[in-house]
Structure 1
C-alpha cells in the first residue's frame, strides 16, 4: 500500500482510541490563517500586462556594461579575492597596499552581490519605488563601508592585522 494511505489508515485506527486524535487541534487555526480574507500576509504586488499574454518578452538593447564586460569584471573580482584573502595570512601582512586592494575588492564584491539580489527580488517594473530605495540604500551602505575600511586601514592596524590578532587571542 502506498505510504500516503498508510498514514491515513494509522490516523483512523488511532482516532477511535485516542480522544486527542478525534478533533483536529491545530488544523482549523492553520486553515483560518491561510484562507482568511482579512489577514493577507503577503498581498499581491501591483501587476500589469503590456500587450497580450502571448507577446514575446522584449529583448533589451546590447550594452557592454550589462553584458560580457560586466560578467567578466564580476568574475575577475571574485577570482582576485582568493589569493588576496590567503596571502596576508600565509606570508604575513606585506604592506598596506595589499590591505587596500583586499578591502576594495571586498567592497566591490559585496556591492555587486547585493545589487544582483535587489535586481532579482525587486523588479523596477513591478515595484519601482522600492527598487529605487533599495538601490540608494545599497549605495549609501557601500560608501559607508568603504569610508569605514579606509579609516580602519589608515588610522588603525588594518584588516589583516586585526584578523591575525583576533585569531591569536
Structure 2
C-alpha cells in the first residue's frame, strides 16, 4: 500500500521535527542558551570544568554503598518475618532515606541542570533537602512511637487479610 521511499521520507521528516523541539520543562524558566550550547568562537580553546570528586565518584560511591548496605538489612527483616530490633530497623530506615535522597539528587542534577534552569535547580535541591528532613522526623516518630518501618510494612501487608476475615 505504501511505497518504501514514502515511508522512509515520513520517518526522516518525523526525525527532523523531533530533533528541533526543545526538551525543557515547560513551567520552569530557563536561562538564555548559546546556539548549539557552544560558548565563544570556533577558535577558542575548550575550558573543561574543574574536577570535583563530590560531583562524580563520591556521589556514585555513596549511592552504591547505601544500596549494598540495604541488602542485608532488608534480607534480615524478611527472614525474621518483620521482628527485628529497633536499632536494625532504624538503620534500615535511615539507609533507605539516604539511598532515596541520593537517587532523587541524581535525577535533579540530570533533568534540572543548573546551567539551563539556574535558580530553579537550587530550589529543587532545597525542596529535596527539606522533604528529606521531614522524612527523617517521620522516621524518628515512627521508630519511637510506633512499631518502626518493618512493623508498618507488616501492618500494610496483612491489612487485607484481616479485613477479609472480618467479612
TM over 0.5: yes
Q: Distance in 2 between matches of 1:52 and 1:133?
A: 32
Structure 2 partner of 1:165: 155
The yes-or-no answer on 1:112 pairing with 2:98 is no
The yes-or-no answer on 1:74 pairing with 2:63 is yes
Shift in CA distance, 145/58, structure 1 to aligned 2, threshold 3 Å: farther
Q: Distance in 1 between matches of 2:89 and 2:155?
A: 15
Query: Is there any run of 5+ residues in structure 2 with no aligned partner, and where?
Result: 7-24, 160-167
Q: Which moved more, 1:131-140 or 1:81-90?
A: 81-90
Higher relative contact order (CA 8 A, sep 6+): 2
TM-score normalised by structure 2 residue count: 0.69
Shift in CA distance, 73/152, structure 1 to aligned 2, threshold 3 Å: same
Q: Distance in 2 between matches of 1:69 and 1:147?
A: 26
Structure 1 partner of 2:74: 85
CA-based RMSD of the aligned residues comes to 2.7
TM-score normalised by structure 1 residue count: 0.68
Q: Distance in 2 between matches of 1:141 and 1:116?
A: 15
Query: Is there any run of 5+ residues in structure 1 with no aligned partner, and where?
Result: 9-40
Secondary structure of the residue that 1:65 maps to in structure 2?
coil
